[in-house]
Chain A
């Protein structure tokens, strides 16, 4: 893949992937927070999700509502084929580069 995605974009994309079709603003935010331990603003997640959608890496549909949300529907995101490829590409780039680190020998 030629296009490069940012670190936060990658995290969000991974979260959408993990949630497997159940990813929407709050759940993605919680997922990223759970794994990274950082605190994230909802707005940041939404902006990133829409950017990823613009890039064609995720797709979305309006989904189920709950009483907690005041009976408002959520926008559920799902990763696209292109998104999967992007993730794999980033992963490969990293592994290639990891392999090139000379004689990395942690903990003897």
Chain B
């Protein structure tokens, strides 16, 4: 048996035996154990062999432990714990502060650790997660340097034909909301399904979502079959077996088509970037049959399982040969352009994105499917978690060190009585490790108790208990206990144990105890971090409230918006007419897209100009929307319902006029864009006349600058976004006279709801207010700010705990000094000032260090936003003042009691 191949457990057992059993026996025992291990391994397998090895080892160790020549220290351990316990009781205040700070720090770090772990382990549950890649491509409908997470279906066809490195390639697509009708007890129930995806028959061979019933290999084979999740099945059929049942599915504008349920999936794990409730077979999609080779129907998520051992870099290179060879057929037939003409020299790169990276990656920007994480938040939280842990550990070391000088006499006495230096060092280290252990256990309990609230805050489903069975988790905890315990214990241990007993007993240690420099440094560090955090959270808050107050160029208050209008077909106009009669609304408008969610763009150019093709965002609406939004027309006019020709007229915003090459209002001087034409740079190159220019307004939130916008008429059928399936909305401006309180508002909403149900009960009633929608574009940031506030508070609390502990220590040390000063006529005020100024100086120093650090960090964060709140100096002043006030308050209790003490009492004893 080669000893290098021994398992860790067996080597550990060997070490144990060596320590416990006299040297004379170890060799033969270990030999016997190894021999028996080999025999058992051959006869009964590794598990039994390992287990019996341990049992035998322990048995031998117990039987022969008295034969060890070196005396074991285990008998002292109980003694050490006893001493630690007594000293903890004697300094109760220190003990509580110490444990509280450490527990808070560990708990915070644990909670954040759980959060970060959760964010970083998306999509790892698939059987071959490490070999699954998604194929991304450039955003060919806009800025080619950006990526999108979907491709045309032709990409998968090309890979199958040419590249053998993939075991399997599959496609999934999202077409929008569907209506689902299910017969239940003779009644037809309607469901509006937003998470309805369509996937190819080999989908589950790549992504192994677990099945409850049905066969993953064949479930998506036939046309009109559908796989649903367990909770969807319960919604549709209650407790009945859903397999083989029929549901009716309707795309908006289509007809109801029967689908058969061929499989039931376990509910999609929360840590999956694909979140669907229903998954229909790709064979059901009619358009797919003719367009399976196209490269411009770019809504297909293409996922591939590569063969084991494939070189991904080489594979990516191989993929780049595909677009020029395969996409040309599409560009020729659709745009009448060669591949080079279509790309204009930009490279149609195919990217391989590892499945496990998809959730947390910053790219692609478009068509990512499902939820996506924010790597910045993970970094910020991770950093905050580590900071809080470091703060509390420092706190702990600081307090332990401060306290230990009180124990100089104990150390002296023990040395006089023959205690060895090594035993003393061990005593201090064991003590501090005990503290850390207690705090860790308390932190585990605390996290378990508060996880529910934290989950609500972070909108997560974190759980502690699955980690408790993970040996690595315990390894990390144990490592932490040892590191912090040894680090906190070693300073007092080495320092005190080195003293000469005669001196410490005479009390010389106190004057010679020179660790104040280190301790002050640690306090400065703690307060620097706390103050920097205060400043950062201040600016996060400030930025968030600033975004609410930005002038977005339109009036976003009092606008009610209704969704799912396109599902009503011609009923939409009936509803609109009914709502216009309602006195609660001053204007009603129908539109495709609504601010702040105008994200789609197309390529346009100005006619008769040598300006390049540009991307314009577009929205479509009727003549009422611009007045409803109170958008201001600079020149020209709004759509006119009496003018049929307006169907093909467009209104642009200032930025669009600028990028199309007309210049701005100041420069076009009489030669305005009115009457000019914009040309669609695709298809039949239709052109639209510009009848107005509207002042820039924020149509997609306030994170970005205002982009170019083209406003089309609802009835413009020359653009591909015209059709019954395209989303449509109704927006209403509330008449302020009719809405005085929440009750009236609720009544109006109920009215609209019943009106809608009367026209088409199948359509789901869904509404929002535009100002809320603008607010919600900052949902993530708001969530972050709440969590950040909480952690800032924790950091401050921990820093204060540390400070008050040090102040108490210092007060104890200087009692006599203060007493003597008082005897000589110092007033209480002078003493408090004297005592506090020492700490105030430390906090002031922290402010000086923290300000530039916080400035840099805030500046970097604010760079994410187009509209940023100014970095006012007063924030720094307020944060500094707040820190000083908190510190002074913390110290004041100690300083007052020290200054108020009767000098006679103080000077009498010792």
Q: Could you tell me which A residues sit within 8 Å of B by CB distance? A: 24-26, 41-44, 46-47, 62, 65-70, 72-75
Please list the 7 inter-chain residue pairs (A to B) with the smallest Cβ-Cβ separation, ordered nearest first.
Answer: A72-B31, A43-B59, A69-B31, A25-B32, A75-B28, A43-B60, A43-B63
Encode B328-339 as 1/0 by CB contact (under 8 A) with A. 000000000000
What count of chain B residues pass the 8 Å CB interface test? 21
Asked if B386 is at the interface (CB within 8 A of a chain A CB), the reply is no
Nearest Cβ distance between residue B58 and chain A, in whole angstroms? 8
Residues of B within 8 A of A (CB): 1, 3, 25, 27-36, 38, 55-56, 59-60, 62-64
B361 to chain A, nearest CB (A): 50
Known: A46-B63, A47-B63. A25 touches B1 (CB 8 A): no
C-alpha spacing A56/B33, complex, angstroms: 26
CB distance from A25 to the nearest CB of B (A): 4
Are A69 and B55 touching (Cβ within 8 A)? Answer: no
The residue of chain B having its C-beta at the shortest distance from the C-beta of A72 within the complex is B31
Q: Which residue on A lies nearest to B24, using beta carbons?
A: A75
Contact of A69 among B25, B35, B62, B63 (CB under 8 A): B35
CA–CA, A43 and B54, complex, Å: 12
Question: When chains A and B are docked, how far (Å) is the Cα of A65 from the Cα of B64?
Answer: 22
- In the bound complex, residues from chain B placing their C-beta under 8 Å from that of A72 are 27-28, 30-31, 34
Smallest CB-CB separation from A71: which chain B residue?
B31
The answer to whether B35 and A46 touch across the interface, beta carbons within 8 angstroms, is no
In the bound complex, do residue B63 and residue A26 qualify as a contact, i.e. CB atoms below 8 Å apart? no
Asked if A42 and B32 make an inter-chain contact with CB atoms under 8 angstroms apart, the answer reads: yes
With A41-B55, A41-B56, A46-B63: A68-B38 Cβ-Cβ less than 8 Å? yes
Cα separation A74 to B33 with both chains bound (whole Å):
11
| Complex: chain A residue closest to B67, CB-CB | A50
Partner of B36, one of A42, A73, A74: A42
8 more A-B contacts (CB under 8 A) besides A42-B59, A43-B60, A46-B60?
A41-B56, A41-B59, A68-B34, A69-B1, A69-B32, A72-B31, A73-B27, A74-B28
Q: Smallest CB-CB separation from B32: which chain A residue?
A: A25
Q: A67-B1, A68-B1 are in contact. Are A73 and B31 (CB under 8 A)?
A: yes
Q: Are B1 and A26 in contact (CB under 8 A)?
A: no
A26-B35 contact in complex given A41-B55, A43-B59, A67-B1, C-beta closer than 8 Å: yes
The answer for the CA separation of A16 and B27 in the assembled complex, in Å, is: 20
Contacts of B3 in A (CB 8 A): 70
**Residues of B close to A26: CB separation below 8 A:** 32, 35-36
Cβ–Cβ < 8 Å partners of B55 in chain A: 41
Residues of chain B with a CB closer than 8 A to A75's CB: 28
A42 contacts B34, C-beta separation under 8 Å: no
Complex Cα spacing A43 to B52, Å: 12
Q: List 24 A-B contacts (CB under 8 A).
A: A25-B32, A26-B36, A41-B55, A41-B56, A41-B59, A43-B56, A43-B62, A43-B63, A46-B32, A65-B31, A66-B35, A68-B34, A69-B30, A69-B34, A69-B35, A70-B1, A70-B30, A70-B34, A72-B28, A72-B30, A72-B31, A72-B34, A73-B27, A74-B28
For residue B815, give the distance in angstroms from its CB to the closest CB of chain A: 60
Chain A residues positioned under 8 Å from B31 (CB to CB): 65, 69-70, 72-74
Give the shortest distance, in Å, between B176 (CB) and chain A (any CB).
69
A68 to B32, CA, bound (A): 9
Complex interface: chain B residues within 8 A of A44 (CB): 59, 63
Complex Cα–Cα for A88 and B208 (A): 73
Tell me which residues across on chain A come within 8 A of B64, comparing CB atoms.
43, 46-47
Identify which of B28, B34, B38, B63 gathers the most chain A CB atoms within 10 Å of its CB: B28
Task: For the complex, give the distance between the alpha carbons of A62 and B25 in Å.
Answer: 11
Of all chain A residues, the one with the shortest Cβ separation from B14 is A70
- The distance in angstroms between the C-alpha atoms of A70 and B31, with both chains bound, is 6
Max chain B C-beta neighbours (<10 A), residue from A43, A65, A66 = A43
Q: Which residues of A are found within 8 Å of B25, using beta-carbon distances?
A: 46
Nearest-neighbor residue (CB-CB) of B33 within chain A: A42
Interface contact A42-B28, CB-CB below 8 Å: no
Q: In the complex, which residue of chain B has the Cβ closest to the Cβ of A66?
A: B35
Kindly list chain B residues whose C-beta atoms are within 8 Å of the C-beta of A46. 25, 29, 32, 60, 63-64
| Residues of chain A with a CB closer than 8 A to B63's CB | 43-44, 46-47
